[in-house]
Amino acid sequence: MAEEKQYPNYSPGLEGVVAGVSKIARVDPEKQVLVYRGYDATELARKASFEEVAHLLVVGHLPSQAEYRTFTSKLRECAALPKEVVTILRTLPKKTHPMDALRTAISCLSGSDPDLDDLSHDANLRKAMRLMGVVPSVVAASWRILQGQEPIPADPKLSLAANFLFMLQGKAPDALTERVFNASLILYAEHGFNASTFACRVTASTLADIYCSVVAGIGTLKGSLHGGANEAAMETMLSIGNPAKAEKYVLDAIARKDKLMGFGHRVYKKGDSRVPTLKTLGKEYAQAKGDLSWYEMADTMERVMVREKNIYPNVDLPSAWIYYQMGIPIPLYTPIFAVARMSGWTAHVIEQLDHNRLIRPSSIYEGPALQPYVPLAERS
């Protein structure tokens, strides 16, 4: 491949470019810290409910008890799936990936939102609540419908984390499963100007509605360099098959210069702030389930990648094997990331529209010099 030309003021992949000002999240790659509006995300993951964190991100502060009750009941009200969405999900080809089903369902939902074209702060907040409330139902129902099963309505007594698993699996999770799944949602909720969030902000900056923004986010998240990595990481672990084979597999992959999904990060070069917490919770979960093999495999992969390449796992590695042990089908791992990230995306759309300026960068032209047009009839 020809070497790329260097240009002043150009950073491929926008690496290191500051593209906005935000009060939502701070990532400190040196200290491996992720902060949501002043709170350590890993502390929130261990102690808070996903709903509290969603309120923190979207509304701007941790809820009081009264605010929490109102917020959670609003999310529960929004969990019911409109008939049109169920009908559309039933018409999708059975091979549709659940991320594509999610993208389609969100587009369908926009038509019935009474606030669609109202871009005021309050209307955006109402739309964010509707989206956060409905997205777990969409993901669970789409999977069941694609498998030829009937959707299961939400249980208003359950938390958002437990409800998702209930709507998917038909039974409420035990307390440990709920706690670990809740923590994974919190750690997936927000991460600054990552690719999908940036896509949401770019779309919002044109004054398109919030549904257009989050559809852009869903499409961007699907790629394997971003959210799709958790599904790809689990496929890799399944092809390794056994912790004893992990070291050789990784060494061979390095020799072939293959990328290992679930490793590396654009921002963190010394380790992903979210991994130690999720790994510890995952180990606790694996011990309780009596099967440490996936934990051990991931741990060996990590040891070899750090030793040989100084490349650390990202959050998609522990989430992949934890979800697998929870019996969650692999094609749902990226949609689950979207369920969580809906809070971050909508928080960013609201912030973008509160201080909007069209996002429109420039590019360097490397095409042909100016030349005269030759009419078609004169071209051979």
What is the rounded distance in angstroms from the CA atom of residue 190 to the CA atom of residue 26? 10
Report, in Å, the least distance between residue 48 CB and ligand COA.
Answer: 22
CA–CA gap between residue 152 and residue 370 (Å, rounded) = 61
Q: Which stretch in 53-61, 154-162, 256-264, 372-380 sits in contact with ligand COA by CB under 6 A?
A: 256-264
Region near ligand COA per CB under 6 A, out of 140-148, 206-214, 235-243, 261-269: 261-269
- Verify binding: residue 351, ligand COA, rule CB under 6 A: no
Member of 316, 332, 346, 352 binding ligand COA (CB under 6 A): 316
Q: Which of 25, 260, 332, 353 binds ligand COA (CB under 6 A)?
A: 260
DSSP category for residue 59: T
Binding of ligand COA by 261 (CB under 6 A): yes
Q: What is the total count of residues that contact ligand COA (CB under 6 A)?
A: 15
259 near ligand COA (CB under 6 A): yes
Q: What are the angstrom distances between the C-alpha of 212 and each of 75, 196, 336? A: 21, 13, 19
Q: Which of 263, 285, 321, 345 contacts ligand COA by CB under 6 A?
A: 263
CB of 299 to ligand COA, least distance (A): 17
Span near ligand COA by CB under 6 A; candidates 49-57, 133-141, 257-265, 290-298: 257-265
Which listed residue (191, 265, 272, 299) is catalytic? Answer: 265
Which one-letter amino acid corresponds to residue 6? Q
Among 314, 325, 343, 352, binds ligand COA (CB under 6 A): 314
Confirm if 145 and 93 have CB atoms less than 8 A apart. Answer: no
In the residue annotation, 226 being an active-site residue is answered as yes
Helix (H, G, I), strand (E, B) or coil at 25: strand
Chain Cα centroid distance, residue 242:
28
Task: Report the residue number, 168 or 250, with the smaller CB distance to ligand COA.
Answer: 250
Residues 269 and 309: beta-carbon distance below 8 Å: no
Q: How is the chain split among helix, strand and coil, in percent rounded to 5?
A: 60, 5, 40
Burial of residue 311, with CB atoms counted within 10 A of its CB: 0-12 exposed, 13-18 middle, 19 or more buried: middle
Q: Which of 78, 185, 186, 229 binds ligand COA (CB under 6 A)?
A: 229
Which residue is at the shortest CB distance from ligand COA? 264
* 312 contacts 268 by C-beta, under 8 angstroms: yes
Task: Tell me, residue by residue from 3 to 22, as one string, x for binding to ligand COA by CB under 6 A and - for no binding.
Answer: ----------x---------
| Cβ atoms 183, 159 nearer than 8 A | no
Determine which one of 55, 226, 299, 348 is catalytic: 226
Strand order of the sheet with strand 33-36?
25-28, 33-36, 39-40
Nearest 10 degrees: Cα torsion 317, 19, 61, 186: -10
Does residue 59 bind ligand COA (CB under 6 A)? no
Residues that bind ligand COA (CB under 6 A): 13, 225-226, 229, 259-266, 311, 314, 316
Query: Which residues have a catalytic role annotated?
Result: 226, 265, 316
